[in-house]
Every structure is written in C-alpha cells, then in structure tokens.
Amino acid sequence: MHYTKTLPSHPHYIHRILNRWHPTKKLLFLALMAALTAILQSAGGLLPPIGFAISPFATVPIMIAGLLSLRSAVFAYTVTILLLVIMQPSELIVFPFTTGLLGLGLGWTLRKLNKRLEVILTNGLLLTIGICIPLYTLGFPVLGPTVSSTINPLTLLLIFTFSLLYSLIWTELSLFILRKIKPIL
C-alpha cells in the first residue's frame, strides 16, 4: 500500500543541506520564511476573493523551516505571528491554530517519521486539536457559524475526518514541493 511505504529522501536531503549553512544564513532564511508566511496568510484579508485560495499556502514556508529543526520552525512561527499582529490581526486566531500548526507538524514529522501514514495521522490529530481549541475553548467559530461551540461527538468525528483528509493532501503536496526544491539546492 502506498501509505505504508517509507517516505522519499527529499526531506532528509534538504535538512542536511540547510544544516550546512552558516548560522547567519539560517537566521536570514528563517526571517524570509516568516515574512513569506505572513504575506501568504494575509492574502485572505487583503485580496478577499482570490486570497482565500492563496492563504492555505502559508503552511509551506513553516514546513520548510521545520525541516531545518523544530526550534527553527517555532522561531519562524512566532515571528509570523508577530508580523500578523501588525499586518492582519484578524488572522491571529486562524494561523496559530491551523495553518501554522500544520506547517510545524509537517516539517517535524516529514523529517522524523518514516511512513506516510504516520505523518498523516500525526498531523491529522494535531490539526484536530488546533481546530478544537479555538472552537471549544475560545468559542471562536473557526468552521463558520453553522458549527456549534458546544462539544458534540459527531462534530468531533467530522473535524477529525476533515483533518485527516487535509493532512493527506498537505503531506502529498509537501513531498511534491520538496521534490521540486531538491534540485535547486
């Protein structure tokens, strides 16, 4: 089965290349990834119709920063949040709990885990938790006004199913992007 096979070597190769860089170059790279993430995440508010299709791609720079190290990804994630405070404060609930969290998880799991299924399940669970925190703890309607902020097992199951599907798509898309980046490095 496709999902039980070992992951390709792209994430590990890119990790090795990025780790050879001088610390100053790494810091500049992380700042660039954070700025790119903030711009992509802000697209939904700045360019409403087309921006909503662009903003999910804010996951990619955080994922690439995560290939360097988890600490680097957390740095880029934090800098992105600080940039969003200035650029687009309305994205401060969405990014930290969904797009950014998925980028952190993907970067770390693509480097540390060996099978696609492990990556998909881990990130699906992480995204489910990320959606449930603002929805149930903060009462923020992340999924729109139709989803109640009271805990319902059916809603949790639907959120988990959606998260798994979204994680599957992003795992495959991330591997595709890394395969395209590998020859450039």
Residue recorded with tokens 């299924």: 117
Residue 76 has pLDDT above 80, yes or no: yes
Residue recorded with tokens 């990014």: 95
pLDDT, mean of residues 163-176: 94
Is residue 50 within 8 Å of residue 44, measured between CB atoms?
Answer: no
Angstrom distance (rounded) from CA 165 to CA 175:
16
pTM: 0.90
> What secondary structure letter does DSSP report for 96?
I
The one-letter code for the residue type at 67 is L
% the chain with pLDDT above 70: 99
Is residue 38 within 8 Å of residue 149, measured between CB atoms?
Answer: no
pLDDT reported for residue 8:
85
CB atoms within 10 A of CB 161: 12
Return the closest-CA partner of residue 9 out of 177, 184, 175, 185: 175
pLDDT reported for residue 1:
64
What six digits make up the tokens of 78?
Answer: 């934090």
pLDDT digits (tens, 9 = 90+) for 20-48: 999 999 999 999 999 999 999 998 888 88
Number of domains observed in the structure of the chain: 1
Is residue 40 within 8 Å of residue 61, measured between CB atoms?
Answer: yes
- Model confidence at 52, pLDDT cuts 50, 70, 90, reads confident
Angstrom distance (rounded) from CA 110 to CA 85:
29
pLDDT, mean of residues 54-63: 94
Residue 161: give its domain's CATH number.
Answer: 1.10.1760
Query: Domain range holding 19?
Result: 2-181
pLDDT reported for residue 49:
83
Residue recorded with tokens 């599907």: 165
- Model confidence at 119, pLDDT cuts 50, 70, 90, reads very high
Angstrom distance (rounded) from CA 52 to CA 35:
18
Angle subtended at Cα 96 by Cα 90 and Cα 102, rounded to the nearest 5 degrees: 130
pLDDT digits (tens, 9 = 90+) for 2-27: 778 888 888 888 889 999 999 999 99
